[in-house]
Structure 1
């Protein structure tokens, strides 16, 4: 059955599963009996999108965008979407409509450091209508499409382009997807520079406890407890290759006086190591504010400098994800970090195989599609 491209987007992860059927009922179905069934379905879906026209060149397009500016990635009527904006830019470039197919259909509010699409383009002469010309070089495509994208809102950009064979499908050829999720921890209101870029939680989070919870969830499991009700994937079984949480420097980051002095000393004396002990304070991951001593000798915040949050990044990596799986996983990790759940609770929730047992999922604004991995065929070449 041919897929209806006008269907509204409902998932940032589930619909790029290799073992789903678009017209399956919205409930968990039986597990896939054999791997060969999924392989056969993949080949069938890829063959549907092969373009027999030898005059068309298929391009693989990597894009970044600010998710809060779009109603999702997939084309939807009367909404500004990633695919819609990209197709309009290509139309202005090549002078005719094109169809863009995304590897991962991110939801409204979900950002992308690198989502991947493919598009077929036929280059024709503007002076001699009907005359077919050699395909554009990837660098030409990148620069031209970005020209039209930046003339609009400037919230989406092409970051890489490659020529690929006509049967190379951005969605079904993807081997692995990596998502990142940013959390800001601390009682201070979120900075204007961080608004809609992370999930702000006022509680202090226990990093060690969250890391232990990650270890429980890594591997091949039935993730029914981390699968939203509208998920259309045939099976809740997924292999989570990586799930970890790391504390990082909160952005934007600007050096403190002590850090600037340390840097100056290193420049003046190359024998001084940045990691060596000096009279200056060590760089902290969670603060760059300057402090004074109060009348009683206690440390106090210098006026006009914001107290920074502690920033954590959750990384989730797998071949495919269920609908809202990453956001539900982050919701559980946050509850563990805040002390509302323990590691045994996480195992209980996983084994319950019911989303009713899971805490609320994390908001979309902290989620980033980070990377989509491919085994690119020989002979593909890219923009510089």
Structure 2
């Protein structure tokens, strides 16, 4: 694993003698307990053994300044930052376990972790108190996360039984990979957020290559050295490429004029309907202008934005980035569909194209069959 940028974490000691904003949150919120399907799990959740409650956390982060998700002694990592924030919140060290490991530079729209917390009294050491409500946990941890950096946020918290594991209970994982195609320099706002490919990408050819790779295969050709999985066989439930609107889209003159024309007549569509928005007011994917076309002074030519979606129960080490590397080579014309079949059947990573960089990869979702509440 390569480390794009390493930061040491400055540890802060919480002052228990000084009143905290979090204590106000805790005292102002009533304690709520979760019910689970099984009676044993219900008892464990509502009355956790030894007062220990397991929480599920959904987190989002920009991976640029993290040296991956897993904890490391000398590098800033996602788990390390979470554990530091939790320690400040509860007053003692905790262990955070992630559902999916991400490398340095990889982002997450929603990764999932679990943590076990025992709430104890600060006034009476040793006294175990009822567990915190999930909302209190989320606000408190975000409070400490946001004090120094804003590239990691807790977006959801749930109470789960003590044996509900973030990694082993995951049913499937979805990854997205963003490619920006076009000769223009990459926008400052897209730095470290996508793979910039200066060549034109052939979308239909890439989609055809996906049909070769989707399904159950021996993915040894898409398995990086150091992979600890016992078997190279994986089932790709979904692999496709879609063209989407480039991020940070702002309405063009045509978009605004079309919206104004429709909105000027209140009878043209119901004002309280979310499903009847006129097509002219929705952003569209414009054809990318060539370098010879004049778009006007101070205006940037857009890139085409292609997103690769890969969904499976589990993936091999660097599998998605190796798949994207091959798809990109197909898009530029450096590989053909028979080449993709040859690479897959070779069962050797040396046959694959160079791996796609980490900056365009996003962990999009981890799916669970969560206990009913």
Q: Is the 8 A contact 1:178 1:371 kept in 2?
A: yes
Whether 1:225 and 2:221 are equivalent positions in the alignment is yes
Show the counterpart of 1:115.
111
Are residue 274 (structure 1) and residue 278 (structure 2) matched? yes
In structure 2, the partner of 1:189 is 185
RMSD of aligned residue pairs (Cα, Å): 2.2
Counterpart of 2:307 in 1: which secondary structure? strand
CA 1:205–1:299: 2 relative to 1, 3 Å: closer
What is the match of residue 25 of structure 2?
Answer: none
* In 2: Cα distance, 1:134 partner to 1:9 partner: 43
1:317 aligns with 2:317: no
1:301 Cα deviation after fit: 1.5
Q: What residue is the counterpart of 1:255 in the other structure?
A: 251
Assess if the C-alpha contact under 8 Å between 1:60 and 1:117 holds in 2. Answer: yes
The aligned counterpart of 1:335 is: 329
Match of 2:345 in 1: 351
CA shift at 1:232, angstroms? 1.1
2-structure distance, mates of 1:364, 1:267 = 43
The alignment's TM-score, normalised by the length of structure 1, stands at 0.80
- Is 1:153 the counterpart of 2:153? The answer is no
Query: Is the Cα–Cα contact under 8 Å of residues 50 and 118 in structure 2 kept in the other structure?
Result: no
Structure 1: where are the runs of 5+ without partners? 1-7, 11-51, 292-297, 380-384
Query: Hey, what's the Cα distance between the residues in 1 that align with 2:162 and 2:111?
Result: 20
- Contact 2:63/2:106 (8 A) holds in 1: yes
Q: CA deviation at 1:54?
A: 3.4
Larger RCO, structure (CA 8 Å, separation 6 or more)? 1
* Residues 9, 74 of structure 1: 8 Å contact kept: no
- The C-alpha deviation readout for 1:289-329, integer Å capped at 9, x for no partner, is 9x9xxxxxx96221110001000110000000000000000
Separation in structure 1 between the aligned mates of residue 54 and residue 350 of structure 2, nearest angstrom: 44
C-alpha deviations, 1:26-72, integer Å up to 9, x for none? xxxxxxxxxxxxxxxxxxxxxxxxxx953200000110011011000
Partner of 1:363: 357
Q: Are the aligned partners of 1:190 and 1:200 in contact in 2 as well (CA < 8 Å)?
A: yes
Task: Count residues with an aligned counterpart.
Answer: 320
Offset, 1:286 = 4.1
How has the CA–CA distance of structure 1 residues 288 and 139 changed in structure 2, closer, same or farther, with 3 Å as cutoff?
Answer: farther
The alpha-carbon distance between structure 1 residues 122 and 283, as it changes in their structure 2 partners (threshold 3 A), is closer
Aligned residue in 2 for 1:26:
none
Post-superposition shift, 1:258?
1.1
Matches of 1:233 and 1:246, distance apart in 2? 30
The corresponding residue for 1:305 is 299
Equivalent residue, structure 1, for 2:100:
104
Q: C-alpha distance in 2, partners of 1:225/1:287?
A: 35
